Amino acid sequence: MKEDTMRDKVVVITGASGGIGAAVGELVSSRGGSVVLVARREAPLREVAARCGPNAIPIVADMTVRENVRLVVAQSLARFGHVDVWVNNVGRGINRVPSELTDDDIDDMVRINVKSALYGMQEILPHFKERGSGQVINISSVLGRIPFAVFRSSYNGAKHFLDALTSNFRSEVQETHSGIQVTLVSPGVVRTDFGNNARHGGPDSRQLPNSQSADEVAEVIVNVMETRLPDVYTRAGTCDRVMQYYETLGVDP
């Protein structure tokens, strides 16, 4: 029985108006938790909040703007008194090969995929330090480990950046506050609007092979709130695939 496993937990989820973020919010709520749902799109965000029930609040905010992130922290604490888990789920893909990338392409990928997570980690950290506990969960991608999708180019690079930043942030914080965990979750292809919303267009993620549903990924994310593992993939066998990729390259240690 998992109905009460999140009772008394408060979880902030960014990028929560659809896809993975919405699925995480609904799953946390179904297990007794309270959720702060954050996104830029007000109408779908409010629909997700309605499905999550009375212990959910929607906040319309752009997480690539630091002042907005500070507002989300303040409103979350004002409503619930504390935060247990902060999920950085804002992200956007791209459809452009590296030889054609522009400055704007790279800036956009870093702003959305890296800065939104950095701002979240930095702004919730004082609260976690005050409590001596807490967990940040950064949603990355398998492409942050193996950049095999050439058309995603600078998205791959941004997720590599996020992976390293997550590891470094964890090491820094746990030197003085061992009760704070910083977790990286790396999905593969997920059947959402991610591909359709990518900079410069598709392909549609729903049409790509070996995909997962948002609900399957949400199950992994919510479970890691309980296990507090530092680094997880959302599909079995992915770790072996990553290791095989680098062996195939002939990397010399």
Catalytic residues: 155
Cβ(20)–Cβ(218) under 8 Å?
Answer: yes
The type of residue at 87 is V
Among residues 39, 91, 108, the alpha carbon closest in space to that of 197 is found at 91
Please state, in angstroms and rounded to a whole number, the distance separating the CA atoms of residues 148 and 160.
13
φ, ψ dihedrals at 6, nearest 5°:
-110, 10
Q: Are strands 134-139 and 85-88 parallel, antiparallel or unpaired?
A: parallel
Please, are residues 18 and 45 in contact by the beta-carbon 8 Å criterion?
A: no
Q: Rg of the chain's alpha carbons, rounded to an integer?
A: 17
Collapse the DSSP code of 165 into the 3-class scheme (helix H, G, I; strand E, B; otherwise coil) and give the result. helix
Residue with tokens 């992976």: 163
Q: Cα separation of 4 and 22, whole Å?
A: 19
Whether the link from the prior residue into 98 is cis, omega within 30° of 0, is no
Residue type, 133: S
Residue spans of beta strands (DSSP E) within the chain: 10-14, 34-39, 56-60, 85-88, 134-139, 180-186, 231-233
